[in-house]
């Protein structure tokens, strides 16, 4: 049940499909909402100028499914009693900080785009998404998923779909779609690592750690360190991600397995970051950022084309350290991708 128009939601459709087929009501309703939003993806709001600081507006849907909802906290205002509001505010700020501090990017469009978010969307809504205009968070049903504002890597993942939208514009299908998903996982994890001041060796390399409700057998939605091991649960099924091209999944589901085969480039990034050592947002992150935003990557880039772009980016940024580009090539080779 994949749709032609992408909805950049954090929970892949095959997970909700499985829950819905087992009769899990919140999943049935969440899928229906996702389908509606796929049909209604919007163009981005106008930028607010070259602000060096974030401009955040958090709204509360009040479970009504009417976007954008009532504004409850704007930039510079003190925390409120509703922790979902504060988590969304902080997660948007942490994402802005990584891109601004490390990569010199002014918001997701590099022109100071206002960061809008809506919390408490729908009833027991089991997802969070970027609709081209704002971030929207469900509370989760409490049985399978908890509050989607709880994980800053999920917020970083979703906003990175915005960065990709404004830069490489990777098509949301097959390998370019899996790259689109993968760069969101990579920078989502980097948002968390940067906020926690973690070295690549200390990070958990998980997406959505703490999102699964108590009792669900799993630690997160995905793992860059060990793709395919994030969960194995009677209701959710088993994490289907491969870590190597020999296990590439050919499927028509999930826009050609965009949330599945993203495990391969995800793992290449993990291997590079840990081989280089130190903070992953530094050399490994810069190489990936340069490849994504360098304006040379075609929108239909496959894994090989992206790997080639990262090797070129490494050579350009670290001309005196040839070992860096060699390490990039070696990391791709370990997941079965040859940059050539």
Using DSSP, state whether 72 is helix, strand or coil: strand
Question: Closest separation between CB of residue 181 and Zn ion, Å?
Answer: 5
Question: Closest separation between CB of residue 6 and Zn ion, Å?
Answer: 9
Cβ proximity to Zn ion: between 141 and 185 the closer is 185
Q: List binders of Zn ion among 282-311 (CB under 5 A).
A: none
Active site residue 253: no
Distance from C-alpha of 246 to C-alpha of 51, rounded to nearest angstrom: 45
Say if residues 56 and 89 touch (Cβ distance below 8 Å). Answer: yes
The answer to the question of residue 266 lying near Zn ion (CB under 5 A) is: no
What is the distance, to the nearest Å, from the Cα of residue 306 to the centroid of all Cα atoms in its chain? 17
Candidates 24, 87, 259, 267; catalytic one: 259
The answer to the question of residue 30 lying near Zn ion (CB under 5 A) is: no
What is the distance, to the nearest Å, from the Cα of residue 287 to the centroid of all Cα atoms in its chain? 18
Q: List binders of Zn ion among 116-155 (CB under 5 A).
A: none
Q: Longest C-alpha distance within the chain, in Å?
A: 58
Distance from C-alpha of 17 to C-alpha of 240, rounded to nearest angstrom: 14
Runs of H (alpha helix) within the chain: 13-21, 25-39, 83-97, 103, 152-166, 174-195, 253-257, 263-276, 283-293, 303-317, 322-334
Cβ proximity to Zn ion: between 164 and 193 the closer is 164
Active site residue 25: no
Q: List binders of Zn ion among 5-24 (CB under 5 A).
A: 8
Judged by CB under 5 A, the number of residues near Zn ion is 3
Q: Which stretch binds Zn ion (CB under 5 A): 3-11, 94-102, 268-276, 304-312?
A: 3-11
Q: Which stretch binds Zn ion (CB under 5 A): 13-21, 58-66, 176-184, 204-212?
A: 176-184
Question: Closest separation between CB of residue 102 and Zn ion, Å?
Answer: 21
Contacts of the segment 310-313: beta carbons below 8 A, 24+ positions apart: 310/339, 311/339, 313/286, 313/287, 313/288
Question: Closest separation between CB of residue 8 and Zn ion, Å?
Answer: 5
Say if residues 236 and 18 touch (Cβ distance below 8 Å). Answer: yes
Residue pointed to by tokens 């163009």 = 43
The answer to the question of residue 184 lying near Zn ion (CB under 5 A) is: yes
Q: Which stretch binds Zn ion (CB under 5 A): 68-76, 183-191, 213-221, 228-236?
A: 183-191
Candidates 157, 158, 181, 267; catalytic one: 158
Cβ proximity to Zn ion: between 141 and 181 the closer is 181
Cβ proximity to Zn ion: between 9 and 276 the closer is 9
Question: Closest separation between CB of residue 209 and Zn ion, Å?
Answer: 16
Question: Closest separation between CB of residue 224 and Zn ion, Å?
Answer: 14
Say if residues 237 and 21 touch (Cβ distance below 8 Å). Answer: no
Query: Beta 128-130 vs 135-137: how paired, if at all?
Result: antiparallel
Q: List binders of Zn ion among 75-114 (CB under 5 A).
A: none
Rounded-to-10 torsion of CA 9, 12, 14, 20: -50
Cβ proximity to Zn ion: between 267 and 308 the closer is 267
The tokens describing 340, both together, are 């050539």
Instruction: Give the residue numbers marked as catalytic.
Output: 158, 259
* Interaction site with Zn ion (CB under 5 A): 8, 181, 184
């Amino acid at each position: 049940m994949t749709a032609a128009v992408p909805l950049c939601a954090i929970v892949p459709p095959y997970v909700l499909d499985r829950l819905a087929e087992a009769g899990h009501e919140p999943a049935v309703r969440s899928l229906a909402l996702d389908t509606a939003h796929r049909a209604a993806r919007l163009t981005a709001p106008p930028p607010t100028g070259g602000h060096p600081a974030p401009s955040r507006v958090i709204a509360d849907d009040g479970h009504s499914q009417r976007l954008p909802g009532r504004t409850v906290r704007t930039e510079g205002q003190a925390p409120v009693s509703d922790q979902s509001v504060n988590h969304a505010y902080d997660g948007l700020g942490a994402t802005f900080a990584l891109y601004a501090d490390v990569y010199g990017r002014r918001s997701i469009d590099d022109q100071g785009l206002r960061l809008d978010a809506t919390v408490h969307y729908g009833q027991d809504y089991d997802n969070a998404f970027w609709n081209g205009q704002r971030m929207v968070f469900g509370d989760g049903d409490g049985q399978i998923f908890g509050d989607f504002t709880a994980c800053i890597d999920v917020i970083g993942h979703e906003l990175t779909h915005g960065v990709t939208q404004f830069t490489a514009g990777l098509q949301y299908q097959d390998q370019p779609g899996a790259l689109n998903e993968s760069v969101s996982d990579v920078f989502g994890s980097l948002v968390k690592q940067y906020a926690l001041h973690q070295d690549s060796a200390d990070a958990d390399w998980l997406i959505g750690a703490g999102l699964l409700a108590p009792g669900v057998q799993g630690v997160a939605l995905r793992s860059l360190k060990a793709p395919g091991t994030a969960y194995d649960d009677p209701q959710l099924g088993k994490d289907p991600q491969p870590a190597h091209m020999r296990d590439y999944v050919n499927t028509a589901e999930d826009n050609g397995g965009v949330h599945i085969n993203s495990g391969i480039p995800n793992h290449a990034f993990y291997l590079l970051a840990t081989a280089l050592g130190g903070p992953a947002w530094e050399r490994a992150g810069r190489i990936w950022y340069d490849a994504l935003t360098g304006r040379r990557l075609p929108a239909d880039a496959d894994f090989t084309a992206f790997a080639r772009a990262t090797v070129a980016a490494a050579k350009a940024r670290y001309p005196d350290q040839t070992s860096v580009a060699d390490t990039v090539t070696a990391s791709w080779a370990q997941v079965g991708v040859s940059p050539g």
